[in-house]
Amino acid sequence: MNFVAPDFLPALPELWVLVMACVVLLVDVWLRPDQRQITYRLTQVTLLGAALITLVTFAREPVVTFHGHYLKDPLGDILKLGLTLAAAGGLLYARDYLRDRRDLYRGEYFVLSLFGVLGMLIMVSAYSFLTVYLGLELLSLSLYALVAFNRDSPVSAEAAMKYFVLGALASGLLLYGIAMIYGATGSLHLDAVAAAIAGQEGGSLVLAFGLVFLVVGLAFKLGAVPFHMWVPDVYQGSPAPVTLYLGTAPKLAAFALLLRVLAEGLGDLYSDWQPMLALLAALSLILGNLVAIVQTNLKRMLAYSTIAHVGFILLGVLAATPEGYAAALFYTLTYVLMALAAFGMILVLSRAGFEAEHIDDFRGLNDRSPWLAFLMLLVMMSLAGIPFLVGFYAKLVVLQAIISEGFIGLAILAVVFSVIGAFYYLRVVKCLYFDAPASDQPLTLSRDTQVVLSANGLLLVALGLYPTALLTWCATAF
């Protein structure tokens, strides 16, 4: 039997990140603690290089390689561009925070971040259940270590243990579902699975059970209710830079996983997974918005906010139309942009010996820094879905997609709980402008952090006023 070498060019971003992660690991071994800036810069070169490679080799049409296990297409390249830039922005925001805490400013943080990005890139281009699981486990193992990165914190250790145990359970359920689908279709390749399902007459009990296990595993990775129990504890217990990393780029990879598996591999089972997604979306919108109201810890509030936003993403996928998928992709990209700015503000306000993770820590921020208070105002208003900001338009296109498919009840539910959820965002705005300052200590930001954070916040306005370009780009993926 002759071995046919695969085409490695479509996987150039993954190969670049893999090689550079090994280089960063080796270089860091020889650096003194006061030279850690070199590790940081190499990591940024890796992420920005991967984004540039993705842009230069942007797919005009789908290309399948590695014997059917890997797919390069416009959807994958858009998501890769988004997650590499999000990871690079998150590292920039985290740099000063880590530098103020010498015990956290270590090469392992950067290496684990790169291997996590590699796992995400593999997930985005996965075209078989084998590569789906490979990418997912590479990302998960990196995240388990990152959550426990602050070894001296019992809260971080507890969060890591919860995440590991529940993550292992979800991975097991996902693997069990994959095994059952393989048994029912005879293939692990998503296109072959789709063809086998289309050729079957009548329902298959094994296939139905496999679908249920798959949806449960995917719902856990997304943090959808009732598989959300890890999200608030892990967000609160992780070091702030890890919470930022966890709450941004992996959402894009999880969205890719959802589309690859359900839309491309199991699209003909729409009538079976549609009720499950509808239930997950409704529960996420209800519980996420209601429980966030009573939170006083900002990281925990943003965790429940994430759960509510996942509900909106699921609504877009639920529509099962090109317009719905494009709306869900647009929502996911813009949510990551908003979350990046929100967690970036937490890192900016934190300092050595102080964690700005409670809502009260933002009291009177307008008196200390009117510009930072304005940026935080934009972030909160966009997350709440206030008009003229990108969060409003993202919700609008998702609602249009599901209304056009007849899901009127779910659309009304989403609108009602979005209005209810606006309360906890407005509470943060009230702290910014109407409460006495929590501290009179001046805020110092490095020039590059200030520029990127400002651009991050202003982009929420620009995309809210002119969303057509990004939405058109998202539509080209489908």
Number of C-beta neighbours around residue 466 at 10 A:
12
Q: Tell me, what's the pLDDT at 328?
A: 94
Contact by Cβ (8 Å): 372, 443: yes
Residue 64: helix, strand or coil by DSSP? strand
Residues sharing a CB contact under 8 Å with residue 83, sequence separation 6 or more, in sequence order:
117, 120, 121, 124, 249, 250, 252, 253, 336
Contact by Cβ (8 Å): 200, 269: no
pTM, 2 dp = 0.94
Q: Tell me, what's the pLDDT at 406?
A: 87
The DSSP annotation for 397-429 comes to HHHHHHHHTT-HHHHHHHHHHHHHHHHHHHHHH
User: What span, in angstroms and rounded, lies between the C-alpha atoms of 138 and 134?
Assistant: 6
Q: Tell me, what's the pLDDT at 255?
A: 92
Torsion sign (Cα): 273, 225, 147, 372: positive
The pair of three-digit structure tokens given for residue 304, joined into one six-digit string: 């429940």
Torsion sign (Cα): 451, 452, 455, 457: negative
The one-letter amino acid code at 115 reads F
Q: Tell me, what's the pLDDT at 47?
A: 96
The pair of three-digit structure tokens given for residue 61, joined into one six-digit string: 């049409």
Q: Tell me, what's the pLDDT at 426?
A: 92
User: Tens digit of pLDDT per residue, the chain (478 long)?
Assistant: 566 667 788 889 999 999 999 999 999 989 888 888 999 999 999 999 999 999 999 988 888 888 888 999 999 999 999 999 999 999 999 988 888 887 788 889 999 999 999 999 999 999 999 999 999 999 999 999 999 888 888 888 899 999 999 989 999 999 999 999 999 888 888 888 888 888 776 567 888 889 999 999 999 988 898 888 889 999 998 988 999 999 999 999 999 999 999 988 888 888 888 999 999 999 999 999 999 999 989 999 999 999 999 999 999 999 888 899 999 999 999 999 999 999 999 998 887 667 788 888 888 888 888 899 999 999 999 999 998 899 999 999 999 999 998 899 999 999 999 999 899 999 999 998 888 886 777 777 888 889 999 999 999 999 999 999 899 998 888 8
Beta strand pairing status for 70-72 and 63-65? Answer: antiparallel
User: Quick one: DSSP state of residue 262?
Assistant: I
The one-letter amino acid code at 379 reads V
Element (H, E) at 321: none
Residues sharing a CB contact under 8 Å with residue 259, sequence separation 6 or more, in sequence order:
75, 317, 325, 328
The pair of three-digit structure tokens given for residue 369, joined into one six-digit string: 């820094």
User: What span, in angstroms and rounded, lies between the C-alpha atoms of 88 and 8?
Assistant: 25
Residues present in the chain in total:
478
Q: Tell me, what's the pLDDT at 358?
A: 85
Q: Tell me, what's the pLDDT at 329?
A: 94
Extents of the domains making up the chain: 10-476
Number of C-beta neighbours around residue 455 at 10 A:
12
